[in-house]
Amino acid sequence: MITQEQLQELLSYDSQGKPVLSIYLDTDSTSEPIDTIKLRVRGMLKEAQLKQVEEVQAVEQYLDTSYDWSKPGLAMFANHDGTFFRAYPSAINFRNRVRTGPRPYVKPLANLLDHFAHYGVILVDKVGARFFEYHLGELVATEGYMGEEVQKVKKGRGSSTVGMRGGQGGGRHESEVVQRNMREQAQAAGNFFANRPIRRLFLGGTSETTGQFKELLPKKLQSCLAGTFHMAMTANEHEVRQQTVKLLAKANAEREAKLVETMVGLHAGGGTAVIGLDDTLQAVSDKKVQTLVISDGFRAPGYVDGASGFIVANIARSPLNESELNEVEDVVDLAVSSTITQGGHVEIITENPALEAAGRIGAILRY
């Protein structure tokens, strides 16, 4: 599991101008055989036309001898002589891609850390609840709570029990027991998530129980509620994880659309936002960027001043002479690295027509 510290290590890695291989893979061995995945990786490495064999050998050796294939995603980084190699398995799969450049290509990892970090799930019914904490698609902690059995009176047949624990139901009205159980479940949820840094919360159960339960949650948990879904309390953890990853992707898509709308609107109104490559690179160079927004796959050549970190795509916009700048294959990746180093956020967005029309890149500024 990648950490922010490991991402920073990649950002600060100095290759001394030598090429660095970055490769992202969908390694879901439940969808296709491992040998097929390995064959595809060899094809990707061949298409990259790498001049050194050490980085290819490092990747292939890791897949053959070290990778356990339990994760559906994998990111690897290797330098030209094999002295630097990093591999980060992921519970979230990546789109297959390979890049070479003077520094590790980190945009997909930044995207993973932004979209899938620290989220929670609650499954609830009339008797009990289960709580899950996830980070980057992996289960971090889980806990359960069981309340009092719910007694249902059947006409002419006495009472029947719904639940899993011996109760004192007798003549108690069903709705009173259910309400008490849910209040206690909500309190238990608050206790479970109290010191956990979740950013989004998903609630599973029937439409009736989730509708009642979410109103009883502490305000802090209500504020990060991102969606509800139908699922039985007896569902296994794999089902919970698979369903909520899909919901998280949907919630992220909705959030991304609103983010682009906000950025374009701020720019149109003369506010704290820029769009287009030239103005965005200027904002990055001026250290003004709060959130950098990029279309997935967008690349552009340009120039950088290594001493100041000044980045430019259009040499006519540079206060420096071309002889003072170093030519680079991708200034967009440099903009990502600089933004993260400066403490800003990066959003990589797929298939958004408004962002495409805005030049595939923009930023919301700090000031």
- For residue 149, list its beta bridge partners: none
Nearest residue to 201 via CA among 220, 226, 237, 229: 226
Whether the pTM exceeds 0.75: the reply is yes
Mode of pairing for the β-strands spanning 200-205 and 225-230: parallel
Distance CA 239, CA 76 (A): 28
* 112 found inside a domain: no
Structure tokens given for 270: 């003369």
* 209 found inside a domain: yes
* 348 found inside a domain: yes
| 221 plus 196 within the same structural domain | yes
| 136 plus 75 within the same structural domain | no
| 78 plus 180 within the same structural domain | no
Q: Which of 52, 83, 105 is the last residue of a domain?
A: 105
Q: Give CB contacts under 8 A, 24+ apart, made by 173-178.
A: 174/150, 177/147, 177/148, 177/149, 177/150, 177/151, 178/126, 178/150, 178/212
Task: Write the CB contacts of 357 (distance below 8 Å, at least 6 apart in sequence).
Answer: none
Task: Write the CB contacts of 157 (distance below 8 Å, at least 6 apart in sequence).
Answer: none
| 226 plus 309 within the same structural domain | no
| 269 plus 352 within the same structural domain | yes
* 99 found inside a domain: yes
| 131 plus 226 within the same structural domain | yes
Q: Which of 42, 71, 105 is the last residue of a domain?
A: 105
Task: Write the CB contacts of 162 (distance below 8 Å, at least 6 apart in sequence).
Answer: 126, 127, 149, 150, 151, 152
| 147 plus 220 within the same structural domain | yes
Tell me the residue type at 361: I
CATH number at residue 38: 3.30.960
| 227 plus 262 within the same structural domain | no
Distance CA 1, CA 111 (A): 14
Structure tokens given for 150: 């719910």
* 247 found inside a domain: no
What is the chain's pLDDT, residue by residue, as a tens digit (367 residues)?
799 899 999 998 988 878 899 999 999 999 999 999 999 999 999 988 877 788 889 999 999 999 999 999 999 999 988 789 999 999 999 999 999 888 899 989 988 998 899 999 999 999 999 999 999 999 999 999 998 887 665 544 444 444 444 444 444 578 889 899 999 999 999 999 999 999 999 999 999 999 999 999 999 999 999 999 999 999 999 999 999 999 988 888 899 999 999 999 999 999 999 999 999 999 999 999 999 999 988 999 999 998 888 999 999 888 888 888 989 889 999 999 899 989 999 999 988 999 999 999 999 999 9
Q: Which single residue is written with the structure tokens 């287009």? A: 276
Task: Write the CB contacts of 219 (distance below 8 Å, at least 6 apart in sequence).
Answer: none
Q: Which of 180, 204, 235 is the last residue of a domain?
A: 235
Structure tokens given for 129: 């609840």
User: How far is residue 20 from each of residues 30, 62, 272, 351, measured CA to CA in Å?
Assistant: 30, 17, 35, 28
Nearest residue to 216 via CA among 176, 185, 175, 178: 185
Q: Domain count of the chain?
A: 3
| 141 plus 59 within the same structural domain | no
Tell me the Cα Rg of the chain.
Answer: 25
Tell me the residue type at 129: A
* 110 found inside a domain: no
pLDDT tens per residue across span 163-173: 444 444 444 57
Q: In this structure, are residues 15 and 79 in contact, taking their beta carbons and an 8 Å threshold?
A: yes
Collapse the DSSP code of 90 into the 3-class scheme (helix H, G, I; strand E, B; otherwise coil) and give the result.
strand
| 128 plus 30 within the same structural domain | no
Residue 52: domain span? 4-105
Structure tokens given for 325: 């700048």
Q: Is the dihedral of CA 292, 136, 185, 251 positive or negative?
A: positive
Q: In this structure, are residues 299 and 325 in contact, taking their beta carbons and an 8 Å threshold?
A: no
Structure tokens given for 163: 């639940």
- For residue 129, list its beta bridge partners: 124, 145
* 140 found inside a domain: yes
Structure tokens given for 80: 């030209």
pLDDT tens per residue across span 255-278: 999 999 999 999 999 999 999 999
